[in-house]
Structure 1
Amino acid sequence: MESLITVFICCVVLGSFVGFMAGLLGIGGGLIIVPALLYILPFAGIEVAYPTHIAIATSLAAIILTSASSARAHHKRGNIPWELFKPMLPGIILGAIVAGSISELISAEDLKRIFAVFVVLMAIQMAFPFKSEVEKELPGKPVLFAVSMCIALIAGLMGIGGGVLLVPYLTWSGLQMRKAVGFSSATGLMIASSGTIGYIIAGWDVTDLPTGAIGFIYLPALVGIVVTSMLTAPLGVKAASTWPTPVLKKIFAVLLAVIGLKLMLS
């Protein structure tokens, strides 16, 4: 019981930071939540056979609510090109479900190292973001389907909403930045929902999971994160209008790179 309370309190603090940073820098919470949970669980005395799986699955479940809030705001502003869902939604759902289903086949140590490499790559992308000013026609439906499935597969395995991959691709393909971000917020909801289902199914019959887990999702951590992240995200959005966001993104990118390298070497 003491371990559950410790995890919950730590995740309440984590959720405050995740929500604020998401609003301030426009990043998905997964890049923060996953490595944080990998430290919080052992700190609270919870030793399990699949810590990385639990961290990633819990991160995806938390992203469901934050993505829903973001998607609603973008929809009100007309930033979501709903016509793109027809070619991309099937691939998004398929890729995310497959990610959760095959995660059990990857060892916890291998999954942690894969995530570490991914974090370093995303840190580089954040420090030196891709920008495209060229307007061109979007690829055909088969290409959009294949790309969406690959992005959802990677996002589901890494416990993120997929925006760090989808936004650069869509802007490179000719979509306006605001619409790419809006579409990413809506697809993040789909990826997180589908991936969460996959991780619940994959972990349903797994032994050695902590008390309070549904599949690979750890409820005490999930509730703690969500309770505060939803409250602090608007504060981050407000701060973004006055704080030096580009500078903060580069500082945060360095922090991510350090975290990724440490996970790689641990």
Structure 2
Amino acid sequence: MSLFGIAAGDLAVLVGSMLAAGVASGVLAGMLGVGGGAVIVPVLYQLFTFLDVPDEVRMHLCVGTSLAVIIPTSIRSLMSHHRRGAVDFKALRIWAVPVAVGTALGTLLAALIPSAGLELAFAVFGIVIGLQMLVLGTRTLKVRDDLPGPAGMSAYGLAIGLFSSLIGIGGGSLGNIVFAIHGRSMHQAVGTGAGLGLLISVPGAIGFMIAGWPEMAILPPLSVGYVSAIGALLLAPVAMLTAPLGVRIAHGFSSRQLEIALGTFLLLMGARFLFGVLV
């Protein structure tokens, strides 16, 4: 017996794993402002490997689906942080256009890069940022007492949008560092990072849908370009419901504790993908 071309046993594993990933994604989105993509991408990669998705489109499908899931997760997380007064909407307004441009460029670049290249980009991101957060923390790298002007913020936004769309994250972890090295609290960094995830995930998901359309013949059932509809529909509602739990957890810890949690998580995920590229 099969459904949508997937055997019943495989489908049960797929559903259970994606629901579990949705819980982890939502909690992390609220707790660390990372949108959950750092969890979703590796989980989806394992599941799509299990389902024999071709190597040449597997990582692209992971990234596109991750960005689609981040949309509702970021909305729920942003609303929860806003109620606690931890969102800098002025920064988000400045970031809106450059982040969208960077995301569009990243999506275009991702369509041209082989799957192994995207895996390596994810690995480098996780290891470098994770080690920096664990060993130095953001306070040690403080460069000034407040955020730069519109030109500096736009440059940050362009870079964050480009790199985040390459690896399927909401950009919150990168936004966290920008805020922290410019004298802002980690809690405000996490809250604003949730809004940043929304700015990246909407154009990013649309871009991956369009970019993957020519590959529909080799993509799994219920895919819309490089976005798995079944993956997004299973992950997104659970992640959205559990995001407020992560917000409550975040506001129960100190800034340094959040830095250590984020650094540890990113390091583990980066190491996992580096191992996959090298082996």
TM exceeds 0.5? yes
In structure 2, C-alpha distance between the alignment counterparts of 1:11 and 1:44, rounded to whole Å: 13
The residue number in structure 2 matching 1:145 is 154
Matches within 5 A, 1:92-131: 92-128=99-135, 129-131=137-139
- Higher deviation after alignment, 22-31 or 95-104: 22-31
Partner letter of residue 95 of structure 2? M
The residue number in structure 2 matching 1:91 is 98
In structure 1, C-alpha distance between the alignment counterparts of 2:212 and 2:277, rounded to whole Å: 25
CA, structure 1 residues 168+217, in 2 after alignment: closer, same or farther (shift >3 Å)? same
1:205 is paired with a residue whose SS is helix
In structure 1, C-alpha distance between the alignment counterparts of 2:16 and 2:156, rounded to whole Å: 39
Of residues 46, 49, 60, the one that matches 2:53 is 46
The residue number in structure 1 matching 2:3 is none
In structure 2, C-alpha distance between the alignment counterparts of 1:236 and 1:78, rounded to whole Å: 16
Partner letter of residue 231 of structure 1? L
In structure 1, C-alpha distance between the alignment counterparts of 2:122 and 2:162, rounded to whole Å: 13
The residue number in structure 2 matching 1:256 is 269
Of residues 157, 173, 180, the one that matches 2:166 is 157
Partner letter of residue 60 of structure 1? L
The residue number in structure 2 matching 1:28 is 35
CA, structure 1 residues 25+245, in 2 after alignment: closer, same or farther (shift >3 Å)? farther
For the 8 Å contact 2:94–2:150, the answer to whether it is kept is yes
Instruction: For residues 17-64 of structure 1, give each alpha carbon's deviation from its aligned partner in whole angstroms, at most 9, with x where no partner exists.
Output: 333344455543111111111111121343353111110111111111
For structure 2, the 5+ residue unaligned runs are 1-5
For the 8 Å contact 2:130–2:264, the answer to whether it is kept is no
In structure 2, C-alpha distance between the alignment counterparts of 1:25 and 1:245, rounded to whole Å: 11
For the 8 Å contact 2:23–2:238, the answer to whether it is kept is yes
For structure 1, the 5+ residue unaligned runs are none
Matches within 5 A, 1:1-266: 1-2=6-7, 3-47=10-54, 49-128=56-135, 129-131=137-139, 136-206=145-215, 207-238=217-248, 241=252, 252=265, 255-266=268-279
For the 8 Å contact 2:180–2:189, the answer to whether it is kept is yes
For the 8 Å contact 1:74–1:182, the answer to whether it is kept is yes
> Normalising by the residue count of structure 2, what TM-score does the alignment of the two structures yield?
0.83
Deviation at 1:164, TM superposition (A): 1.0
In structure 2, C-alpha distance between the alignment counterparts of 1:252 and 1:173, rounded to whole Å: 23
Instruction: For residues 104-128 of structure 1, give each alpha carbon's deviation from its aligned partner in whole angstroms, at most 9, with x where no partner exists.
Output: 1101122112212222223213423
Percent identical among aligned pairs is: 32
Partner letter of residue 121 of structure 1? V
In structure 2, C-alpha distance between the alignment counterparts of 1:115 and 1:36, rounded to whole Å: 13
Deviation at 1:170, TM superposition (A): 2.2
Between the two proteins, the alignment pairs up a number of residues equal to 266
- Higher deviation after alignment, 162-171 or 125-134: 125-134
> Normalising by the residue count of structure 1, what TM-score does the alignment of the two structures yield?
0.87
- Higher deviation after alignment, 222-231 or 101-110: 222-231
- Higher deviation after alignment, 58-67 or 10-19: 10-19
For the 8 Å contact 2:161–2:200, the answer to whether it is kept is yes
Deviation at 1:168, TM superposition (A): 1.1
Partner letter of residue 239 of structure 2? S
For the 8 Å contact 2:30–2:77, the answer to whether it is kept is no
Q: CA RMSD in A?
A: 2.7
For the 8 Å contact 2:77–2:247, the answer to whether it is kept is no
Instruction: For residues 178-224 of structure 1, give each alpha carbon's deviation from its aligned partner in whole angstroms, at most 9, with x where no partner exists.
Output: 33332221121111111111111111222411111111001111122
Deviation at 1:98, TM superposition (A): 1.8
For the 8 Å contact 2:34–2:170, the answer to whether it is kept is no
For the 8 Å contact 2:31–2:249, the answer to whether it is kept is yes
1:79 is paired with a residue whose SS is coil
